Amino acid sequence: MAKLAVMGGTPVREKNRLFPAYNPIGEEEKTAVARVMDSGALSKYIGCWDPQFYGGPEVQAFEKEWAAKFGVKHAVAMNSATSGLIAAVGALGIEPGDEVIVSPYSMCISATAPLFYGAVPVFADVEPEYFCLDPKSIETVITPRTKAIIIVDLLGQSHDVDAISVIAKKHGLKVIADTAQAPSAIYKDKFAGTLSDIGIFSLNFHKHIHTGEGCLAVTNDDVLAERMQLIRNHAEAVVEDKGVANVVNMVGYNFRLTEIQAAIGREQLKKLDAFVGERLKNVAYIGERSQDMPGFRPTKSRPGTKHVYYMHAFLYDEKIAGVPRSTFFNALKAELAPSKLQEEEGVLMGEGYVKPIYLMPIFQKQIAFGSRGYPFRSEFYTGTPRYEKGMCPVVERLNEKELITHDLMRPGMAQEDLDDVIDAFHKVYEHREELL
């Protein structure tokens, strides 16, 4: 009988058999980079009202191609999704004393972006099956101070657009969709990220396609597009000559994407559908072979949507499986090797996803800008921030007890790689009682 690696047995995937690294960059991107290098113009932005205020030819072409792909009127390229979210909040006119409803389960900027404009993040809980903000929970935290919702399409899954839209319309709220992890995800025949006031897509190294770092912010609103362009590129130096009347939040940054990044992005965009298709194929294969393990099941896709699997997740039920999740997880990791270029990290699997954001020191201490508690405590804010443990029970249960995530369904994984992943699941599951 096979012996678990954590108990001294031979692992399914020994450490000298590293999983392939995820590298979506090919010859096309190298050629595009050389084209820009040969031009000598690695960036063509000018921080004043000038035709080059909008960037160089690669940036502008990339924006047009992205907008065409996703069926939106405007795409605004920036140097990161962090920058994109900050610009989006500013473009909406969020200001000190306002509240913005945010997700506790995401990269932290999804929740901290409102702080840059003196607004206070208010956390709603997530759905137990899909991990996006729960519309019912959103309703419970709306106040007269609420001005917007930042919704996250987590792990590649679209949020409940219809339900969130009804709430936003009812209360006069704007919606930003953080679709960093879900490029080309579908909600009822429309692309996720295109059905909100602003959608944010990431081009970070870990995403489906990448330019190292980067972002496209999309909108069908001319004014919001202009305001994001201004915030991207030194708004305060541009508004007068451009004739911009509304200067609220028009203190700009340098959020500019370079010509090299844009050139890479143009080639990556052509490959997006193929990369997503490979993820879907791999997830389907893993799912087919993971149906006979009660207490350890692949998560579901929302009806009427297409999930694009930034990460793949399982829900773990300790009562059914009979073993604590941490014990099961540690045994599972011991059966698998890391990926190339990530040897020190080990295999990319996680218990949960991230610690709920409201438990971070910035919220527990309510200290952001300066030492006096701004914006949580200020003359502008009349509310009482709540960031205590237990306030979002679903996300805490998912993170502490139920969720297991991995990225071992990414493009580049061969059939034998996927088989090793699945064999590790089964081996640990079948021998789990030995872990007690």
Instruction: List residues with catalytic annotation.
Output: 207
* Residues 131 and 105 sit within 8 Å (Cβ to Cβ): yes
Closest-CA residue to 265 (of 319, 322, 210): 210
Cα gap 345→148, rounded to integer Å = 37
Q: Residue 76 corresponds to which tokens in the numbers above?
A: 């605004």
Beta strand 174-178 pairing with 146-152: parallel
Burial of 28 (0-12, 13-18, 19+ CB in 10 A): middle
Largest CA distance in the chain: 77
Classify each residue of 33-70 as buried b or exposed e, where b means 16 or more C-beta atoms within 10 Å of its C-beta. beebeeeeeebbbbbeeeeebbbbebbeebbebbbebb
Burial of 372 (0-12, 13-18, 19+ CB in 10 A): exposed
Cα gap 374→146, rounded to integer Å = 18
Residue 374, φ and ψ in degrees, nearest 5: -75, 140
